[in-house]
Amino acid sequence: MRWSFRIGSIAGIRVELHVTFLLFVGWIVVTQGLFSGRPGNALASLALILMVFGCVLLHELGHALAARRYGIRTRDIILLPIGGLARLERMPDKPAQEIVVALAGPAVNVAIAAVLGVVLGRLGRLGGPFTDTLLGGGLAESLLAINLVMLAFNLIPAFPMDGGRVLRALLAMKLSYVQATRIAARIGQGFALVFGVVGLFYNANLLLVGLLIFLAAGEEHAIVRTRASLTGLPVRAAMITQFDALDAHDPLQRAVDLLMTGSQQDFPVLAGEVPVGLLTRAELLVALQRLGPAGRVGEAIAPHGEVADAAEPLEHVLQRMRVRRRPALPVLSGGRLVGMVTLENVSELLLIQQALRRPPGGAPGSASGGATGGASSGASGGATGGVALL
Ligand SMILES: [Zn+2]
């Protein structure tokens, strides 16, 4: 994500901190310490914030490790002032699995709260009215209270928050995936509006959370709809058949010439008759710097390049392209190069499908929203947000 930097990795998952997180911590320290004239307060607030975000990180790890059980990798976990985000490569298609992944995060908060509760109980610090203890206590009591709030907040069925994912999965057991997502997204957006209105008066963070949920629900619905409209189509239906290919022995200058004189940006690469990969524009630029225009195309591409088969389901190939971040793939049939599939072309296919489905005189323009939201969007719609209200 832009403006975020790596702070380490846990269980092989990259953890990033967003710049705004540091600004937020600085703001808390300044307002709590300098303005109040009590540096001790600032230190206590800082300790609490770091521990809360430790809990947020563990919550996100809960999602990521549950997803790993189903063979789904997590691109990274990002910590933002409003909470954490585990960016899974995709969400499980099976509703039961989505429920496990969605609940694994809140389960971590339950575990943390339980441990804190037991420890505080042993120390005799949980006596008296429950709310008094939680709100008026020290660091551990505050942390316990915050974990309970995180738990409750994340379980609100505001898709795509955890509770909303559970709701979608439950609906998907009875309805189609698209219908279930549409209903869950509408409910999520309803909650988002409520958060927004309440946030407007009481809490700017809640306003921001409402806005993000509203947008994320809409985007994920668009992605699911797009995927559904591609279901059943083979790669062949969306491939380009008029294109230039390069030979592995060609100099990079030939790729430059083709790039400059045509509209094609990515080029399939052959070794004789055998397809060996694809040279993207980005790879061409990097290779030009490294090898110069006389360098060989074969040296510029990754070995064992990704390819698609003409008969393969288009949605599987798109999924692979998103995960591996490839803008295009060479398409093979019987081991021979027969075409090329690009995100751009898939977007065009979607636009055409929508135009054909729309009655004449229907609103134009609205078609493009759905198509670009699905095919070319870098977000795979697999992010699970764990929102902590601070
Ligand atoms: Zn979560």
Mean pLDDT of 265-279: 90
Distances (CA, A) of 185 to 161, 178, 365: 10, 10, 22
pLDDT at 37: 67
Structural domain harbouring 315: 235-347
- Whether residues 4 and 115 share a domain: the answer is yes
Q: What is the largest CA-CA distance in the chain?
A: 81
- Whether residues 244 and 336 share a domain: the answer is yes
In a domain, 387, yes or no: no
- Whether residues 151 and 242 share a domain: the answer is no
Per the model's pLDDT, the better-predicted residue between 57 and 365 turns out to be 57
Mean pLDDT of 174-181: 92
Query: What is the CA(108)–ligand 1 centre distance, in A?
Result: 9
8 Å CB contact between 75 and 384:
no
| The last residue of a domain, from among 228, 247, 267 | 228
pLDDT at 135: 58
- Whether residues 244 and 295 share a domain: the answer is yes
pLDDT at 385: 43
In a domain, 59, yes or no: yes
In a domain, 129, yes or no: yes
In a domain, 368, yes or no: no
In a domain, 149, yes or no: yes
- Whether residues 148 and 1 share a domain: the answer is yes
Binding-site members are 59, 63, 162
pLDDT at 226: 81
Cα–Cα distance for residue pair 383/366, rounded to 1 Å:
25
In a domain, 383, yes or no: no
- Whether residues 144 and 198 share a domain: the answer is no
- Whether residues 143 and 26 share a domain: the answer is yes
For the cut 50, the answer to whether the pLDDT of residue 43 exceeds it is yes
Question: Which residues are known to be catalytic?
Answer: 60
Query: What is the CA(85)–ligand 1 centre distance, in A?
Result: 8
Q: How confident is the model at residue 376 (pLDDT cuts 50, 70, 90)?
A: very low
- Whether residues 150 and 1 share a domain: the answer is yes
pLDDT at 24: 80
Number of domains making up the chain:
3
Strands 274-279 and 267-271: antiparallel
Query: What is the CA(383)–ligand 1 centre distance, in A?
Result: 9
- Whether residues 62 and 149 share a domain: the answer is yes
In a domain, 269, yes or no: yes
- Whether residues 300 and 340 share a domain: the answer is yes
Mean pLDDT of 267-274: 90
Q: How confident is the model at residue 390 (pLDDT cuts 50, 70, 90)?
A: very low
| The last residue of a domain, from among 311, 330, 347 | 347
Query: What is the CA(101)–ligand 1 centre distance, in A?
Result: 9
pLDDT at 127: 63
The strand order across the sheet containing 83-88 reads 4-10, 13-18, 74-80, 83-88, 383-387
Segment 279-303, tens digit of pLDDT: 999 999 999 999 999 999 999 988 7
For the cut 50, the answer to whether the pLDDT of residue 5 exceeds it is yes
Query: What is the CA(387)–ligand 1 centre distance, in A?
Result: 7
Helix (H) or strand (E) holding 107: helix 95-122
Query: What is the CA(56)–ligand 1 centre distance, in A?
Result: 9
Binding-site members for Zn(2+) are 59, 63, 162
Per the model's pLDDT, the better-predicted residue between 60 and 126 turns out to be 60
- Whether residues 304 and 246 share a domain: the answer is yes
For the cut 90, the answer to whether the pLDDT of residue 157 exceeds it is yes
8 Å CB contact between 277 and 302:
yes
| The last residue of a domain, from among 108, 127, 155 | 155
- Whether residues 176 and 113 share a domain: the answer is no
Cα–Cα distance for residue pair 125/80, rounded to 1 Å:
32
For the cut 50, the answer to whether the pLDDT of residue 240 exceeds it is yes
Q: How confident is the model at residue 66 (pLDDT cuts 50, 70, 90)?
A: very high
For the cut 90, the answer to whether the pLDDT of residue 315 exceeds it is no
